[in-house]
Amino acid sequence: MMILITYDVSTETSAGRKRLRRVAKVCLNYGQRVQKSVFECQVNTMEMARLKEQLLQEIDESEDSLRIYRIIEPIEKNREQFGNNRAIDFEGALIV
Amino acid sequence: MMILITYDVSTETSAGRKRLRRVAKVCLNYGQRVQKSVFECQVNTMEMARLKEQLLQEIDESEDSLRIYRIIEPIEKNREQFGNNRAIDFEGALIV
């Protein structure tokens, strides 16, 4: 199944910034980063369960927001993208 | 149809912060803000066209990223949310 992961992790504290990096790292194991806090992932039922488990270990449920949506497939017909969607290295300097 | 709007608008400049507010304002006319840059909207085909047109007038396509996804309905069965998902006033102070 095709899923979209979106999250809001507060970056006001160093603990928050660390969580943000770890959440992104987990998501990168399952799919593609398409925006700063948005990932597209193709997963089966087992991978979905493991992904959720790993993400819940990283977020602070009292602070952070995590949402997972199932996208209608094929995603190419159910997703529109506008603007600057080139792959950006979200950690490092912007490479142009 | 149920759609998810996600966007990345650079907040490094005042022009970017202004675009961010205006994009959010447009989205608020069509649905519910669920994360800082994520909206859930129930729209028909005509509303979808108008929404896209309005959003494209607000973003800077060379800088910003805008993505629109169709979510499998009913959304309640195809969305999972974890953590802090209470309605947050994203513009003003955090009201606790």
ipTM given for this complex? 0.86
Chain A interface residues (partner B, CB cutoff 8 A) = 4, 6-8, 34-38, 52, 55-56, 59-72, 75, 78-85
Which residues have a Cβ under 8 Å from the Cβ of A95 and sit 6 or more positions away? Answer: A89
- For residue A24, tell me if it sits in a domain: yes
Supply A36's token pair.
Answer: 């700063």
Are the Cβ atoms of B67 and A56 closer than 8 angstroms?
Answer: no
At residue A18, φ and ψ (nearest 5 deg) are -65, -45
What is the domain-level CATH number for residue B33? 3.30.70.240
Q: Which of B10, B12, B37, B38 to mutate to test the interface with A (most CBs of A within 10 A)?
A: B38
Q: How many domains does chain B have?
A: 1
- For residue A84, tell me if it sits in a domain: no
Instruction: Give dist(CA B48, CA B45) in Å, integer.
Output: 5
pLDDT tens per residue, range B11-46: 889 999 999 999 999 999 999 999 999 999 999 999
pLDDT tens per residue, range A11-63: 889 999 999 999 999 999 999 999 999 999 999 999 999 999 999 999 999 99
Which residues have a Cβ under 8 Å from the Cβ of A52 and sit 6 or more positions away? Answer: A68, B80, B82
- For residue B85, tell me if it sits in a domain: no
For B48, the domain range is 2-73
Supply B79's token pair.
Answer: 């969305």
